[in-house]
A and B are shown apart, each in its own frame.
Chain A
Amino acid sequence: MSQDYPLVAAQTMIHAPAEELKLRRRGRGRRGLHGADRIVVLLMVAIPTFLVLALVWFPAVSTVLLSFTSWNGIGGLGTIKWVGTTNYVNVFTNYPPFTPAIEHNLLWLVCLFVLATPLGMFLAVLLDKEIKGSRIYQTALYMPVVLSLALVGFIWQLFYSYDQGLLNAVLGTHIDWYGDSNVNIWAVLVASSWRQVGYVMLLYLAGLKGVDPTLREAAAVDGSGETSTFFRIIFPVMRPINVIVFVITVIESLRAFDLVWVVNKGRNGLELISALVTQNIVGEASRIGFGSALATIMLVIALVFITIYLATVLREEK
């Protein structure tokens, strides 16, 4: 008997009633798990599954379903009217803010990739050099990440206001930073990048600290310069960090919302899909079906990136 229970202490065995032992043995024989363990495992699988279904799949599927309906959000589900693809036709042909919104989301993505991320990386490399006052710079640069984007929007409003803003007053310019639809997206991107740079910097800083110093020494011994060491050795070694930064950048640019909402509710040159979804669903408008169609389009775009990401990760695992 004791052979069957190598992990159970002798005293426990003696005190356990024979009946229970029998049960345990049977349970173990079939599944390799005891009754209590099985419940724990079941709960550990069921709870997350339930949460994922309730919080992710149910809303996502509902959104897709609602996008084919017309509903003002008032009254029971019986008041929902099936309208087929009308909402999508309207989004693409009868909704002027849609095209700029797509363009702005893409521009956001490109800007964060091309400007914010390399800049954050560059600052991380500089700070990694243990220069004097490194901690202060680090704190100053990371500060915007701690602030909510709504607050960031407010802070930049003080800079950008046409009549009362700092920029026009100091530079003596007459640029309508937030009102001119050719300028305001760039103004907002600066504010957004300001925050993104700090985030990326912190991630890379953590990554750089984790790089084995012997790699640098080896490179130096082999006569590799500072730049080539970074690009040929350090950067590839930080692959996990790079993947995280890539994912974060994509997520940040797709869910960009708060900043433009604070500035002008995502209108007049600051259209973003997320802002259009909110304009249509939240608030008095309540075009639930139409807003859901926009949200579904956003979901499809997100899926493209998620697929690319998963494909890369899965291929590696093989």
Chain B
Amino acid sequence: MTRPKSEAEYLASLVPPSFAATQLGRRTLFKGAVGGAAALSVPALLAACSSSGTPAATGGGAGSTAASKGTVSFGSYQSDATPKKALAAEIADFQTTTGNTVKLNTVDHNTFQENINNYLQGNPDDVFTWFAGYRMRFFAAQGLTGDISDVWTKLTGFTDGFKSSATGDDGKQYLVPVDYYPWALFYRKSVWAAHGYTVPTTMDQLIALSKQMQKDGLIPIAFADKDGWPAMGTFDILNMRINGYQFHIDLMAGKKVWNGPEVKKVFDTWTSLLPYHQTESLGRTWQEAAQTLQQKKAGMYLLGLFVAQQFTAAEQSDIDFFTFPAIDPSIGSDALDAPIDGMMMRNKPKNEAGAKALLTYLGSVQAEKINLANDPGNLFPNSGLDTSSYTALQKKAAELVGSAKNIAQFLDRDTRPDFASTVMIPQLQAFIKDPTKVSSILDSIESQKKSIFTS
């Protein structure tokens, strides 16, 4: 490459080739040059120029605005220290490699989720953090989020499974997956070694192991449901073991009945396991339950990989897990919950080129490498990532997900949010409170489901 003629051209040369391939129409370019520097990412436009060999004159024309680089606003729910730090590192890298400026707007995780409707209908950021599953497809179908199919043409290293998790009902892509975590039964190796426990592969073995743990003075299965969602994980896995993945999807879509024999069997099985669960679960947060595991008071805990957050760095290597054993041999144990988190773009972003550049970057191996270095509690979806620096736990989790035939998102990510939060949470808590009322609880779920799904 020859010596750059202007600062703008120099900046353009810094843009990585993967991103420089961005195809931008002349119209966009014109808008960028005229419409002002603040709104559109100038380096991005320049990158487009340089790659398509546009004469320097055009580049020079836009070059006058290069001093104020494009700003992308980014709404993030990553308010916890570890993921927040990881994201900040990624953004810093994005800014230095592309010259864009990212205006990060971090909101408390729960608040962000609760306000999502107003947020998306108000003045959302160009790029924002969200989830795969029904929750993504719903907003895509409402036209609140932007089609990023062209970003997907540039993304490499994603399996079809991840691509379909990012695809809306209309067949277009709306999400860039950035991390995921499987749900499994976690335990401490040292505790199990001390008692000589082995991983159960059938339901009978799981119950026998639980009984043995009770004899040994341990709580077999740590459990908490104060916040309402952790019990959904238990329901999901039992449902997928007893009725299979497809039934789970159909049930979540409202196509199957809740008070039929299939779901009844799930709750009956759950009832038979409840004596081995930690009691007083409705007043306990998942963090407190995880600490009973961490303090070696409990033998196992069914939760997502993020349970590792409650262990010190030195204890990380002591954590191990196994997937929930098969209940029905004909169904096996090759389905599990492994929710995917991702990034989405608002509909009509202020800086579309910049937003798409950021999304492309966030899905890149480079970004995931930084993420991995900062956050051991997740798995990263890009297969191009060198996973040799995964901890043993991460490696095993990646293997588990890789070997799973079917991956569900989670009850509250696979079904309508109004049904999950206003019906399932209170009813699951009612079941935990008094398992003998399961019939009336299931009738009530079905009757409420009908009113919600038909509204």
Write the residues of chain A forming the contact surface with B, with a CB cutoff of 8 angstroms: 70, 72-75, 81, 83, 86, 90, 94-97, 160-164, 174, 176-181, 184, 264-265, 267-268, 279-280, 282-287, 289-290
Report yes or no: B433 in contact with A268, Cβ–Cβ below 8 A.
yes
If the complex has contacts A90-B451, A95-B448, A283-B114, are A177 and B283 also in contact, measured as CB distance less than 8 A?
Answer: yes
Query: B448: which A residues are within 8 A, CB to CB?
Result: 90, 94-95
Q: Is the interface of B mostly helix, strand, loop or mixed?
A: helix
Report yes or no: B284 in contact with A163, Cβ–Cβ below 8 A.
yes
Is B444 an interface position by the 8 A CB rule? yes
Cβ contact of B425, chosen from A161, A267, A286, cutoff 8 A: A267
- The listed residue with most B CB atoms (<10 A of its CB), out of A164, A268, A280, is A268
Report yes or no: B444 in contact with A180, Cβ–Cβ below 8 A.
no
- The listed residue with most A CB atoms (<10 A of its CB), out of B135, B418, B425, is B418
- The listed residue with most B CB atoms (<10 A of its CB), out of A75, A90, A265, A284, is A284
Provide 27 A-B residue pairs closer than 8 Å at the C-beta atoms, listed in order of the A residue.
A73-B121, A74-B144, A90-B451, A94-B444, A96-B426, A96-B427, A162-B284, A162-B288, A163-B292, A178-B226, A179-B280, A179-B281, A179-B283, A180-B280, A181-B282, A265-B228, A267-B228, A267-B426, A282-B114, A282-B115, A283-B417, A285-B417, A285-B421, A286-B117, A286-B417, A287-B422, A287-B452
How far apart are B372's CB and chain A's nearest CB, in angstroms?
30
Cβ contact of A284, chosen from B114, B228, B433, cutoff 8 A: B114
Is B291 an interface position by the 8 A CB rule? yes
Report yes or no: A162 in contact with B283, Cβ–Cβ below 8 A.
yes
Report yes or no: A97 in contact with B117, Cβ–Cβ below 8 A.
no
How far apart are A18's CB and chain B's nearest CB, in angstroms?
58
Report yes or no: A83 in contact with B455, Cβ–Cβ below 8 A.
yes
Report yes or no: A75 in contact with B142, Cβ–Cβ below 8 A.
yes
Cβ contact of B291, chosen from A75, A83, A163, cutoff 8 A: A163
Report yes or no: B283 in contact with A97, Cβ–Cβ below 8 A.
no
If the complex has contacts A97-B426, A179-B226, are A284 and B113 also in contact, measured as CB distance less than 8 A?
Answer: yes
Across the two chains, which residue of chain B brings its CB closest to A69?
A: B455
Query: A174: which B residues are within 8 A, CB to CB?
Result: 280
How far apart are B90's CB and chain A's nearest CB, in angstroms?
26
How far apart are A286's CB and chain B's nearest CB, in angstroms?
5
- Expressed in whole angstroms, the Cα–Cα distance for A267 and B115 within the complex equals 19
Report yes or no: A94 in contact with B433, Cβ–Cβ below 8 A.
no
- Expressed in whole angstroms, the Cα–Cα distance for A223 and B83 within the complex equals 74
- Expressed in whole angstroms, the Cα–Cα distance for A161 and B280 within the complex equals 11
Report yes or no: A178 in contact with B283, Cβ–Cβ below 8 A.
yes
- Expressed in whole angstroms, the Cα–Cα distance for A96 and B284 within the complex equals 23
Query: B433: which A residues are within 8 A, CB to CB?
Result: 181, 268
- Chain B interface residue count, CB cutoff 8 Å, equals 36
Report yes or no: B418 in contact with A287, Cβ–Cβ below 8 A.
yes
If the complex has contacts A96-B444, A181-B433, are A73 and B117 also in contact, measured as CB distance less than 8 A?
Answer: yes
| Given A73-B121, A265-B227, 13 additional A-B pairs, CB 8 A | A94-B444, A96-B427, A96-B444, A160-B283, A162-B288, A163-B284, A268-B430, A282-B114, A283-B113, A283-B114, A284-B114, A284-B418, A285-B422
Query: A75: which B residues are within 8 A, CB to CB?
Result: 142
Across the two chains, which residue of chain A brings its CB closest to B445?
A: A96
Query: B331: which A residues are within 8 A, CB to CB?
Result: none
If the complex has contacts A96-B430, A178-B226, A181-B433, are A162 and B117 also in contact, measured as CB distance less than 8 A?
Answer: no
- The listed residue with most B CB atoms (<10 A of its CB), out of A267, A286, A290, is A267
Is B116 an interface position by the 8 A CB rule? yes
Write the residues of chain B forming the contact surface with A, with a CB cutoff of 8 angstroms: 113-117, 121, 135, 142, 144, 226-228, 280-284, 288, 291-292, 417-418, 421-422, 425-427, 429-430, 433, 444, 447-448, 451-452, 455
Report yes or no: A264 in contact with B417, Cβ–Cβ below 8 A.
no
- Expressed in whole angstroms, the Cα–Cα distance for A96 and B228 within the complex equals 16
Report yes or no: A284 in contact with B135, Cβ–Cβ below 8 A.
yes
Query: B282: which A residues are within 8 A, CB to CB?
Result: 176, 179-181, 264, 268
- Expressed in whole angstroms, the Cα–Cα distance for A81 and B283 within the complex equals 39
- Expressed in whole angstroms, the Cα–Cα distance for A227 and B226 within the complex equals 47
- Expressed in whole angstroms, the Cα–Cα distance for A285 and B142 within the complex equals 15
- Expressed in whole angstroms, the Cα–Cα distance for A190 and B138 within the complex equals 42
Report yes or no: B291 in contact with A70, Cβ–Cβ below 8 A.
no
Report yes or no: A184 in contact with B113, Cβ–Cβ below 8 A.
no
Across the two chains, which residue of chain B brings its CB closest to A79?
A: B142
How far apart are A222's CB and chain B's nearest CB, in angstroms?
56
- Expressed in whole angstroms, the Cα–Cα distance for A279 and B424 within the complex equals 13
- Expressed in whole angstroms, the Cα–Cα distance for A298 and B455 within the complex equals 23
Query: A86: which B residues are within 8 A, CB to CB?
Result: 451, 455
If the complex has contacts A284-B114, A285-B422, are A74 and B121 also in contact, measured as CB distance less than 8 A?
Answer: yes
Query: B121: which A residues are within 8 A, CB to CB?
Result: 73-74
Query: B142: which A residues are within 8 A, CB to CB?
Result: 74-75
How far apart are B423's CB and chain A's nearest CB, in angstroms?
9
Report yes or no: A279 in contact with B283, Cβ–Cβ below 8 A.
no
- Expressed in whole angstroms, the Cα–Cα distance for A178 and B444 within the complex equals 25
Report yes or no: A268 in contact with B426, Cβ–Cβ below 8 A.
yes
- Expressed in whole angstroms, the Cα–Cα distance for A161 and B226 within the complex equals 11
Across the two chains, which residue of chain B brings its CB closest to A70?
A: B455
How far apart are A275's CB and chain B's nearest CB, in angstroms?
11
Across the two chains, which residue of chain B brings its CB closest to A95?
A: B448
Report yes or no: B228 in contact with A280, Cβ–Cβ below 8 A.
no
Query: B426: which A residues are within 8 A, CB to CB?
Result: 96-97, 267-268
Cβ contact of B418, chosen from A164, A180, A285, cutoff 8 A: A285
- Expressed in whole angstroms, the Cα–Cα distance for A180 and B433 within the complex equals 8
- Expressed in whole angstroms, the Cα–Cα distance for A295 and B430 within the complex equals 24
How far apart are A166's CB and chain B's nearest CB, in angstroms?
14
Report yes or no: A163 in contact with B288, Cβ–Cβ below 8 A.
yes
How far apart are A272's CB and chain B's nearest CB, in angstroms?
13
How far apart are B128's CB and chain A's nearest CB, in angstroms?
14
Query: A74: which B residues are within 8 A, CB to CB?
Result: 117, 121, 142, 144
Cβ contact of A94, chosen from B144, B280, B291, B451, cutoff 8 A: B451
How far apart are A192's CB and chain B's nearest CB, in angstroms?
18
- Expressed in whole angstroms, the Cα–Cα distance for A268 and B144 within the complex equals 34
Report yes or no: A279 in contact with B422, Cβ–Cβ below 8 A.
yes
How far apart are A108's CB and chain B's nearest CB, in angstroms?
19
How far apart are A180's CB and chain B's nearest CB, in angstroms?
7
Query: B116: which A residues are within 8 A, CB to CB?
Result: 284
Query: B292: which A residues are within 8 A, CB to CB?
Result: 163
Report yes or no: B226 in contact with A264, Cβ–Cβ below 8 A.
yes
Across the two chains, which residue of chain A brings its CB closest to B412?
A: A284
- Expressed in whole angstroms, the Cα–Cα distance for A83 and B117 within the complex equals 22
